[in-house]
Amino acid sequence: MKLLITGGGTGGHVNPGLAIAKYAQSRRNDVEIRFAGTSTGIESKLVPREGYKLYTVDVRGLKRSMSPSAVLYNIATLQKSLTATAKAKKILREYQPDVVVGCGGYASYPMVHAAQQLHIPTVLLEVNAFPGVVTKSCAKKADRVLISFENTRELLENRPNIRLTGAPVRGEIIFADREKARKKMKLADDEKLVVSFWGSLGALYMNRHMAGFIELESQHDSFRHIHATGTAAYKWLPDSIKEKGVDLDKHPNIELREYIYDMADVMAAADLVICRAGAATLGELCVLGKPSIIVPSPYVAENHQEKNARALEQKGACQVITEPECTPEKLYHAVTDLLADDEKLAEMGRCAKTMAILDSSEKIYQYILEAARK
């Protein structure tokens, strides 16, 4: 069976695809898998690292503004999309996949659209509560649309091809071992680890806050901290921290990374996670049973990240701080308060664990097989 998995732009669209690929390979030996995305998105780094071939097409997202410059940009973007779809058709004719799996993001549109025009079975995965543009535009012709939240069904007009599966979680996350991970990272038994990240691209506003947060924690060095800056902030955040008088060389407990490639080990070892509220990330938090402080991105359609986060908060699994109310001081005090309360951390972790969906990958795999048999 040949699969072509497409999606990109952010880790939230790439990691679910990688989870599907690895699970499918674990279930049968005759699976050949290739990916499609862009040469500039995070997929260009993550996919080759995992050993998969990546086809690239030149495509970009639309701007939502109606300003003259945005209109001109969107016209050029649509022209690029036509060229990208033509290239996608050429790739599909050469590779001849049995199924194309679309994991969202503008990078997935050319391949999914081309596959539907060529009558190749397509399966769409929508991990967020509010469906993206690609899911909305391609759902009607898809063989299956797999969703992670029940309320997404209505937003996609209750089509008969919709199935609730949950978001796929990478096998290395499911089988991650806290003790082994902490030993690998040389963490002392009483050493607390905080892990923070704002998505694969980073977030300008929140990374600016992290400079102030790191300044505060450097005054006490009471916990170990790994922060993933994202691509853009990795270039300027170290200088911003230095401008605040913090020499990171003198604080080995504070570590900046552009991206956390060994996320399974790092999250498994963590005592507390600070992050956005993408559905894939929340799914991993629940599987690992990790307490978290979540600052939802307000820059997403229908404010779906806050809706995702509030669902966990209502179950007692996390603490939500909205971006407008978040300051370095507020975030730092929230972290130190939780780290000082082991019982609270343990309870949040247990609550998160009750929300985990462990068989989502199997459900997704079976629907892909179903589409292939067609």
What gap in Å lies between CA 160 and CA 148, rounded to an integer? 16
Phi-psi group of 303: left, alpha or beta (phi > 0 → left; psi -120 to 50 → alpha; rest → beta): left
Confirm or deny that 254 is annotated as ligand binding. Answer: no
Cα–Cα distances in Å, from 74 out to 63, 64, 70, 137, 149?
A: 6, 9, 6, 17, 31
CB 25 within 8 A of CB 170: no
Confirm or deny that 137 is annotated as ligand binding. Answer: no
Helix (H) or strand (E) holding 180: helix 178-184
Confirm or deny that 305 is annotated as ligand binding. Answer: yes
Confirm or deny that 128 is annotated as ligand binding. Answer: yes
Confirm or deny that 314 is annotated as ligand binding. Answer: no
Q: For residue 74, how far is the Cα from the chain centroid?
A: 26
Confirm or deny that 11 is annotated as ligand binding. Answer: yes
What gap in Å lies between CA 128 and CA 134, rounded to an integer? 12
Confirm or deny that 15 is annotated as ligand binding. Answer: no
How many CB atoms neighbour CB 22 within 10 A?
18
Number of Cα atoms under 13 Å in the Cβ half of residue 289:
13
Confirm or deny that 96 is annotated as ligand binding. Answer: no
Q: Determine the length of the chain.
A: 374
Annotated binding site for UDP-N-acetyl-alpha-D-glucosamine: 10-12, 128, 170, 200, 260, 305
Annotated binding site: 10-12, 128, 170, 200, 260, 305
